[in-house]
Amino acid sequence: MEADAYITPSTVSTIGLAFLRPCDNRRASAGEHPIAEIHIMKQKIKVGIVGLGAIGKVHADAYAHCADAELTALCDVDAGRLAEVSEKHQVKARFTDYRDLLKTDVAAISICVGNHLHRDVAVAALRAGKHILLEKPMTLNAGQAADIVATQKKAHKVVQIGMVNRQKPEAQLIREEVQSGRLGEIYHMRAVLIRRRGIPGLGGWFTTKAVSGGGPLIDIGVHWLDLCMYLSGQWHPTRVSAMTYAKFGANMRSYKYVSMWAGPPNYAGVCNVEDFATGLVRFGRKATLSFEIAWAANSEESAYIELMGDKGGVRAMDGKPLKILTEYEGRLADITPQFNATSNPFHVQAAKFLAACRGECHPAATSAEGLTLMRLMDGIYKSAKSGQEVAL
Ligand SMILES: NC(=O)c1ccc[n+]([C@@H]2O[C@H](COP(=O)([O-])OP(=O)(O)OC[C@H]3O[C@@H](n4cnc5c(N)ncnc54)[C@H](O)[C@@H]3O)[C@@H](O)[C@H]2O)c1
């Protein structure tokens, strides 16, 4: 059994998977993804997609890029969108009800519908014997995520969560740096993702808590918190003290913006989620993680994650060349690693999912990790609501 700091033996036995190799450890060198580039003819895996909006289309393109995938079934309640994506990828089996897609012989599906549907579609798919690549956030809350894990345990199928940022070459390189011990012990992390005016689809599903589960924390913060935990290997958050604010979206008509993703605003809808979340997560006495995540703030735009280790530190995901701050032969030194940064993370994510479906390796982001993240999300919202530090 190969050691994997991210999936404990108990996790594996909980989920009941027979294979124990992380896909990530099969790279040829730092930052590269040979799995995505393997074109040896393997038996094709028939795949389907439920939900063909912004991200469903990206999944369709990613499967089209995988030589070992055959996109054979698509589903969306929007008939026009269904026709458009089906025509583009020449898919004949088209459905407006996902339960009909699950009756086909697809072995695996991507679930790309809104967050409130993740649990139901995932559970139905697992019961139908399908492997699933489930978009983030895993669910609206930890209770729903636990339902998926329990169903997976009986179904013995792959569940991979769409934590696509893990597949960015710089993330893979940092993970190697941490695992090699070159950064030493990671004792603090920062996750910062600030948009000045970036509330998506004001009044639509993103800003309706019953449908989205929350605001920027659960939408984009989940990527950054996952990345910090994945890269550091810290998967046991113990306590959190957090605060959320709703200063911009709540009064919808007074919200000033330049452009709107998933817009225009729907003033007949609701915005009852936070637009800023901040807090401190403790991992026992070993490490801490501070976060600031905003859809809207009177602040400069800013995006990065940072890992501080006692031998080296790194700031990444900020659009700048990766720099490792360390010491070399008695002096402070900045190392700028050279690596191939050309691979498309969605293609790599799909390729790793297919490899996991064939039983060649672990899913690239497991359901157990997804559940841990949802517990953390719940704890953050609970702490913000109560004004107290919360035990996780
Ligand atoms: N990984 C990423 O970087 C990333 C980026 C964007 C969105 N997402 C996630 O992907 C999911 C979808 O987001 P999106 O931006 O594509 O949303 P979207 O609104 O653009 O697309 C959702 C699609 O689902 C369809 N749909 C709704 N109900 C359905 C049902 N019952 N059966 C089948 N189809 C149904 C809609 O018609 C729509 O086409 C969300 O969970 C979101 O958080 C992830």
| Sheet hosting strand 331-335, strand order edge to edge | 331-335, 323-328, 312-316, 302-309, 186-194, 287-294, 276-283, 239-245, 390-391
Q: Is 372 a pocket residue for ligand 1 (Cβ < 6 Å)? A: no
**Beta strands 108-111 and 131-134, pairing class:** parallel
Question: What is the rounded CA–CA span in Å between residue 129 and residue 142?
Answer: 23
Q: Is 98 a pocket residue for ligand 1 (Cβ < 6 Å)? A: yes
Binned at pLDDT 50, 70 and 90, residue 12 comes out as very low
Question: What is the rounded CA–CA span in Å between residue 82 and residue 139?
Answer: 24
Question: What is the rounded CA–CA span in Å between residue 374 and residue 139?
Answer: 7
Share of the chain above pLDDT 90, in %: 88
Region 18-25: what's the mean pLDDT? 49
pLDDT at 142: 98
Question: What is the rounded CA–CA span in Å between residue 37 and residue 201?
Answer: 36
pLDDT at 21: 54
**Between 24 and 371, where is the model more confident?**
371
Average pLDDT, the chain: 91
Helix (H, G, I), strand (E, B), or coil: what is residue 81?
Answer: helix
Neighbours of 388 (CB within 10 A): 10
pLDDT in tens, 83-103: 999 999 999 999 999 999 999
Q: Is 55 a pocket residue for ligand 1 (Cβ < 6 Å)? A: yes
List, as own/partner pairs, every contact residues 116-124 make where C-beta atoms lie below 8 angstroms and the sequence separation is at least 24, other chains included: 116/140, 116/205, 116/210, 116/211, 116/212, 116/213, 117/51, 118/144, 118/148, 119/144, 119/145, 119/147, 119/148, 121/50, 122/148, 122/151, 122/159, 123/147, 123/148, 123/151, 124/98, 124/99
Q: Is 136 a pocket residue for ligand 1 (Cβ < 6 Å)? A: yes
- Residue of the CA atom closest to atom 18 of ligand 1: 53
The answer on 219 and 119 residing in a single domain is: no
Binned at pLDDT 50, 70 and 90, residue 22 comes out as low
Question: What is the rounded CA–CA span in Å between residue 377 and residue 253?
Answer: 29
- Ligand 1 atom closest to the Cα of residue 164 is 1
CATH number at residue 38: 3.40.50.720
pLDDT at 41: 58
In a domain, 1, yes or no: no
Q: Report which secondary-structure segment, H or E, holds 132.
A: strand 131-134
pLDDT at 7: 33
pLDDT in tens, 104-149: 999 999 999 999 999 999 999 999 999 999 999 999 999 999 999 9
In a domain, 17, yes or no: yes
- Ligand 1 atom closest to the Cα of residue 54 is 16
pLDDT at 5: 31
Q: Report which secondary-structure segment, H or E, holds 332.
A: strand 331-335
Q: Is 62 a pocket residue for ligand 1 (Cβ < 6 Å)? A: no
Taking a C-beta distance cutoff of 8 angstroms, is the pair 252, 23 a contact?
Answer: no
Q: Is 112 a pocket residue for ligand 1 (Cβ < 6 Å)? A: yes
pLDDT in tens, 41-91: 578 999 999 999 999 999 999 999 999 999 999 999 999 999 999 999 999
Using the 8-state DSSP alphabet, how is residue 135 labeled? P
The answer on 212 and 155 residing in a single domain is: no
From 55, 144, 226, mutation site for ligand 1 pocket: most ligand atoms within 8 A of C-beta: 55
The answer on 42 and 146 residing in a single domain is: yes
The answer on 111 and 195 residing in a single domain is: no
Which among 378, 375, 349 is positioned nearest to 364, based on CA atoms? 349
What's the gap in Å between 286 CA and the centre of ligand 1?
Answer: 37
The answer on 196 and 95 residing in a single domain is: no
**Between 377 and 12, where is the model more confident?**
377
**Between 13 and 104, where is the model more confident?**
104
The answer on 178 and 100 residing in a single domain is: no
- Ligand 1 atom closest to the Cα of residue 162 is 1
CATH number at residue 313: 3.30.360.10
**Beta strands 93-95 and 69-75, pairing class:** parallel
Q: Is 274 a pocket residue for ligand 1 (Cβ < 6 Å)? A: no
Question: What is the rounded CA–CA span in Å between residue 211 and residue 215?
Answer: 11
Question: What is the rounded CA–CA span in Å between residue 25 and residue 35?
Answer: 10
- Model pTM greater than 0.85? yes
Taking a C-beta distance cutoff of 8 angstroms, is the pair 227, 166 a contact?
Answer: yes
Task: Give residues with Cβ within 8 angstroms of 128, minimum separation 6.
Answer: 102, 103
- C-alpha angle 5/9/11, rounded to 5°? 90
Determine the structural domain holding residue 357 and report its residue range: 9-165+345-365
Binned at pLDDT 50, 70 and 90, residue 23 comes out as low
What's the gap in Å between 76 CA and the centre of ligand 1?
Answer: 10
What's the gap in Å between 32 CA and the centre of ligand 1?
Answer: 29
Q: Is 214 a pocket residue for ligand 1 (Cβ < 6 Å)? A: no
Q: Range with the lowest mean pLDDT among 12-21, 54-63, 298-307, 372-381? A: 12-21
What's the gap in Å between 220 CA and the centre of ligand 1?
Answer: 14
Share of the chain above pLDDT 70, in %: 89
In a domain, 280, yes or no: yes
The answer on 217 and 264 residing in a single domain is: yes
Task: Give residues with Cβ within 8 angstroms of 286, minimum separation 6.
Answer: 185, 187, 234
Answer whether residue 16 shows pLDDT above 90. no
In a domain, 56, yes or no: yes
- Ligand 1 atom closest to the Cα of residue 113 is 24
